[in-house]
Chain A
Amino acid sequence: MNIERRKIEYVTEIIGEFRGLPIMFFGLAMCVFSIIHYLSELDAQKRNHYGRDLTYSGTFLLVCLLFYIFAVPKIRGYYREKYGQAQRKSSLRDKLKCLFYLVPWLIAYSGGTRIDTNFALPVSVTVLFIAIFAFGLWWANQRGVSNFFLYISAVLLGLSFLPWEKIYLSITVLDDYSGRMAFYTAACYLFYGIVSFLFGAFDHWLLVKTLIPVVREGEIYESV
């Protein structure tokens, strides 16, 4: 398909979906909370006090919920007013697309973090799965539009080979199971957050670059 036609299709996808600025926010929130979470875990361990996970997850969910209730309608209104509205064609492919978002994250979160915590592999499985997630985003959404996420995926693939065990040991003085688990969980959230933030930023940038903001429709449209 012609690249310009694919771009038009891509823009109708962004405008018709929950994309752009809201995703940027969720990505940013995930990055911030991953750091807060890790620091609180470290603090809890030093004091031999566990069970802070719920505080972290609860606050994160509350912030996201408040953002969804109050800010998302405003962002969507801003997009609608500036760039109009397009209703997407729904297909089975689109419905299955959400699996690209959920499955790698679940695998990275539940599987990758446990593998990294229990086995000292030369590669971080958590980061590797997020590299696969970035590749999935490119394959499902941006193929034919931009190779930006293909590069992100390659960078993450490279990062997965960093000596994460040494990094962990240099960051924390505690070398036990829960310390490792907290580290890899935080890394999972951090990288997932960065990828989500970049994905939202890319969508927003493409939207702004492709569409020309117009004033609200008036009564001029009378001839049709």
Chain B
Amino acid sequence: MSLFKEMTELDKLLHEPARLAIMTALANCEAANFVFLQSLTGLSKGNLSSHLTKLEEANFVYIEKTFVGKIPNTSASLTENGAKAIGEHWKKLDEMRTSAKSWKPETEHAT
């Protein structure tokens, strides 16, 4: 498959910037709470909440709601599915970046 066709066929659910940031952050820790994800991504509460819902529906993220004293605490972590998906997604992006660096119009025509 050509490089550019591959680019257009990236998983849109994961490639959306906010969701990619959330998934990348979660891939680097065991679990993170809502406030941490919000401060890392800079998203509004509503936005972050909606993105987390989408990721949960896709079975990429597991959400756990608890209370710390009287304060609600929402914690998110990657499911096995999600960890695999984000790992593969970044691998694909890294490969594409390497290919894009060495890409020349003739190479594309030849393939």
Residues of A whose CB lies within 8 Å of any CB of B are 2, 5, 8-9, 11-12, 15-16, 80-90, 210-214, 216-224
B74→A86 contact, CB < 8 A:
no
Interchain CA distance A224-B45 in the complex, whole Å: 12
A87: which B residues are within 8 A, CB to CB? Answer: 29-32
Closest approach, in angstroms, between the C-beta of A223 and any C-beta of chain B? 5
- The verdict on B103 contacting chain A, using a C-beta distance below 8 Å, is no
Question: Taking the complex as formed, is B38 at the interface, i.e. its CB lies under 8 A from any CB of chain A?
Answer: yes
**Bound-complex Cα distance A204 to B33 (A):** 19
Q: Any chain A CB within 8 A of the CB of B3?
A: no
Report B44 CB to chain A, min CB distance, Å.
9
Distance, CA A15 to CA B30, complexed state (A): 12
The 9 A-B pairs with the shortest beta carbon distances in the complex, nearest first, are A84-B36, A84-B35, A9-B28, A86-B32, A211-B39, A87-B30, A12-B29, A86-B29, A87-B31
CB distance from B51 to the nearest CB of A (A): 10
Do A89 and B24 have beta carbons less than 8 Å apart? no
Q: Chain A nearest CB: distance from B57 CB in Å?
A: 10
- Chain A residue at minimum C-beta to C-beta distance from B56: A224
A220 to B38, CA, bound (A): 13
**Interface residues of B toward A: which range?**
20 to 34
Pick 17 A–B contacts, CB within 8 A, sort by A: A5-B90, A12-B32, A84-B32, A84-B33, A84-B37, A84-B38, A85-B35, A86-B25, A86-B32, A88-B29, A89-B28, A213-B39, A214-B38, A217-B45, A220-B46, A224-B53, A224-B56
Q: Report chain B residues within 8 Å CB of A8.
A: 24-25, 28, 40
> Chain A residues near B32 (CB, 8 Å)?
12, 84-87
Q: B38, B56, B71 — which one has the most chain A CB atoms within 10 A of its CB?
A: B38
How long is the Cα–Cα vector from A110 to B56 in the complex, in angstroms?
54
State whether A221 touches B31 (Cβ < 8 A). no
List, in ascending order, chain B residues with CB within 8 A of A88's CB: 29-30
With A8-B24, A12-B25, A85-B35 as given contacts, are A210 and B40 in contact (CB-CB < 8 Å)? yes
B63 at the interface (CB under 8 A from A): yes
Contact partner of A89 among B29, B45, B73, CB < 8 A?
Answer: B29
Interface string of B59-102 (1 = CB under 8 A from A): 00001010000011110000000000000001000100000000
- How far apart sit A207 and B73, CA to CA, in the bound complex (Å)? 21
Cα–Cα distance between A198 and B2 once the two chains are bound (Å) = 48
Chain B residues, CB < 8 A from A213: 39
Nearest-neighbour CB distance to chain A for B60, whole angstroms, equals: 13
Q: Nearest Cβ distance between residue B59 and chain A, in whole angstroms?
A: 14
Residues on A with C-beta less than 8 A from B49 are 220-224
**B52 interfacial contact with A, CB 8 Å:** yes
Q: Which residues of A contact B29 (CB under 8 A)?
A: 12, 16, 86-89
Q: Which residues of B contact A214 (CB under 8 A)?
A: 35, 38-39
